[in-house]
Structure 1
Amino acid sequence: MPDATAPAEVVRRARALPVRRARRLVGSLTVVLVLAVAARVLLGDFTITIPDFFRILGGAEIPGASYILMESKLPRAVLGVLVGAALGLGGAIFQTTLRNPLASPDVVGISMGASAAAALAIITFGLDGPAVAACAIAGAAVVSLVVRLVAGRDPAGLYAGGQRLVLVGIGMAAALQALVQYLFTRADVYDAHLVLRWLTGSLHDADWATIRIVGLALLVLLPVVLWQGRSLPATELGPDTATGLGVGPRREDVLLLVGVLLVAVAVAAAGPVAFVSFLAGPIARALNAGRTSLAGAALTGAVIVVGADYAADYLLVDINFPVGVVTGALGAPFLLWLLASGRASRRQF
């Protein structure tokens, strides 16, 4: 007599396999991130031993080492983790919700909206510090709203695979880039230098005040992602199936709004670090056998930013790049490959 429990066991194992794979992915990426942070904090021009690191964290004062660790190395590493996680998570939300790998905040103009608003605040109004960050967040929100309104929806009420939104976003980004170039013609040398450094994306100005703000924003937004992100597997099946499963446009709107806010906060803190939100999601999917992993995308984004910041400082002797230069160099070939391979035209990726 055949074992009646065999089919149930097969189904149970099949359902458990993706969960185990996702856990292994998150665990492996966590280890990689810890190693990247350790390299960023302990190595470089001024090396810090592991015992000295924990002594300094415990309050000990070591001449030279304490200042370099607490005011330079550690803030940059921590801010890199937070910014990378926010960009990776925001990009994965966009790409998955819109079912299009090109629909990342880098491509659809969200990052450019924040950049243009920040450039306008610095050059035209002479603002700095938190005021520039607030303008960047507002700029990202306004641009996302305009892109959504212009792109519209399909007859089912859902975004048509993100194709229209991507095209509208590219056009909006081009217009905003023209605005930034015009602002450069009106700026003095000092303001132009500030804007150029900000537009490139940099962790050079990392401080604990900024870290606290970004950390608080993530504490507020991450529970919303966890709650609303449960619908992403249904969303990936397409608009008709998602509607049939009860995932309507409102849930998509909430997720996209959270994605916009995540990217806006990250850009306000470190500038538009290029292509992190574009790269993190597809890399995490590839490592997870084609399944979306928001936690994996966040960790991948953090690894990219921390690793790129270390490479930007020490890849070439006596030359320090902003982190956005390195991530841009990584992301541009990936974008070209995505377009050349035809993957960008697929509704599900």
Structure 2
Amino acid sequence: MTGPTTTTAPAPDPVSGARRRAHRRRAIATTATLTALAAAVLLASLGAGDITVPVADVVRALGGRADRPTTTVVLTWRLPRALLALVLGAALGLSGAVFQTLTRNPLGSPDVIGFNTGASTGALAVLLTGAAGYTRTALGALVGGLATAALVYALGGRRSTATTRFVVTGIAVSAVLTSVNTWLMYGADTSVAARAAQWTAGSLDALGWEQAVPALVAIAALALATALLARTLRALELGDDVATSLGVRVVRARLLLATVGVALTAVATSVAGPLAFVALAAPHIARLLHRRTPGTSLPGAALVGAVLLAGADWVAAHAFAPVQLPTGAVTVSAGGGYLLWLLLGRRRNDRTV
């Protein structure tokens, strides 16, 4: 008579465990470094300007222990713009990560596939009617972005956003909307068109708490929604069939994620105008830092976006003082250089194969 058979669990792979621990340590170190960079840029933005404030006085002002003039300069004049640069950059980084995952395409960011341009069209339509104001401009940007997303979705194929046709359709719609935006500005009154042109350049200049508070509240709510949908997004990375087997309602999930991504872009666009390449570059850089090819860490993309936009805004405001550049001009220049670097790096890799 034979005894009962027993099965032994396979021994854990020490190599896989070591890799997971190394990846975890790298992720923690990368997050800490990006957070420190964001804090450094924030302090530099609060201290630099026509009235230079030492870092120690900036810290005292943030803690409520500085004198009245320093508190006014740091908290009333400079903090809204500095906070918006970080938060809007994080919003664009999150939006770019969501759409690059949904489209499974490195070019599938909202500023490439037309949603940023559509938000600009909606906001411009409000601005050029003379009905300016943050709430109306934000609503116009949101409607424009969502309408553009619906149009690209309808023309690019209703079955899935993860197709090359979807991205190409978005690029074509973006080109058409860019022409529409130019036509709108040429047909407007000179003074109104001048204000609209300044807005379309992308700038955080002259933004105060009136614009910052509603934007911070809206982005906090949208970031929470993105965090709640993060598990679904990771499932969609594995493919629609695998996601369905895991219990994900794919069509509904893609619609929800796309809506949140467009809303993140629309809020950022309504506040500061179109800020190109942040949403495109942030997820790429986050993948390089985390050495994670299949997907993108949402917190990593948000942190990289925050550092990118805050750094670009500091350069725009102080690098060429007393001349101030539009923040959008800096992001476009840096983004174009980054794309060239990527293309040259890929070309070198192709030659070595």
Question: Do they fold alike, i.e. is TM over 0.5?
Answer: yes
Which deviates the most, 226-235 or 27-36?
226-235
Say how many residue pairs are matched. 337
Tell me which amino acid in the other structure corresponds to 1:133: A
CA change 1:21–1:232 in 2 (3 A) is farther
TM-score, structure 1 as length reference? 0.88
Task: Give the distance between the partners of 1:342 and 1:14, measured in 2 at CA.
Answer: 26
Query: Counterparts of 2:82 and 2:279 in 1: how far apart (Å)?
Result: 18
Residue 103 of structure 1 aligns to a residue whose secondary structure is coil
Report the counterpart of residue 253 of structure 2 in structure 1. 251
Question: Which of 75-84 and 188-197 deviates more?
Answer: 188-197
Q: Which residue of 2 aligns with 1:304?
A: 308
Cα distance between partner residues in 1 of 2:65 and 2:14: 56
Which amino acid is the alignment partner of residue 290 of structure 1? R
TM normalised by structure 2 equals 0.87
| Cα root mean square deviation, aligned | 2.4
Instruction: Within 5 Å, give how 1:282-293 maps onto structure 2.
Output: 282-291=284-293, 292-293=296-297
**Aligned-partner Cα distance in 2 for 1:129–1:234:** 36
Aligned-partner Cα distance in 1 for 2:176–2:109: 18
Hey, what's the Cα distance between the residues in 2 that align with 1:11 and 1:329?
41
Q: Counterpart of 1:136?
A: 141
Q: Kindly name which structure, 1 or 2, has the bigger radius of gyration based on alpha carbons.
A: 2
* Equivalent residue, structure 1, for 2:29: 24
| Structure 1 residue 50 displacement after superposition | 3.2
1:7 alignment partner, SS class = coil
- Cα deviations across residues 63-101 of structure 1 (Å, max 9, x unaligned)? 643332223221111011110000011111100121101
Give the corresponding residue for 1:231: 232
1:310 deviates by: 0.7
What amino acid maps onto 2:197 in structure 1?
A: L
Letter paired with 2:207: A
Contact 1:22 1:293 in 2 (8 A): no
Q: Choose between structure 1 and 2 for higher RCO, CA contacts under 8 A separated by at least 6 residues.
A: 1
Does the 8 A contact of 1:110 with 1:144 survive in 2? Answer: yes
Aligned to 1:280: 282
Contact 1:103–1:162 (CA<8 Å) still a contact in 2? Answer: no
Name the amino acid aligned to 1:259: G
Shift of 1:252: 2.1
C-alpha distance in 2, partners of 1:216/1:317? 32
Q: What stretches of structure 1 of length at least 5 have no aligned partner?
A: 344-349
Aligned to 1:196: 197
Structure 2 gaps of 5+ residues are 1-8, 348-353
3-state SS in 1 of match to 2:275: coil
Report if aligned partners of 1:81, 1:302 keep a CA contact under 8 Å in 2: yes
Identity of aligned residues (%): 38
The answer (yes or no) to whether the contact 2:41–2:311 under 8 Å persists in 1 is yes
User: In structure 2, the residue corresponding to 1:119 is in which secondary structure?
Assistant: helix
Is the CA contact (8 Å cut-off) linking 2:103 and 2:167 kept in structure 1?
Answer: no
Q: Is the 8 A contact 1:229 1:255 kept in 2?
A: no
Q: Which residue of 2 aligns with 1:185?
A: 186
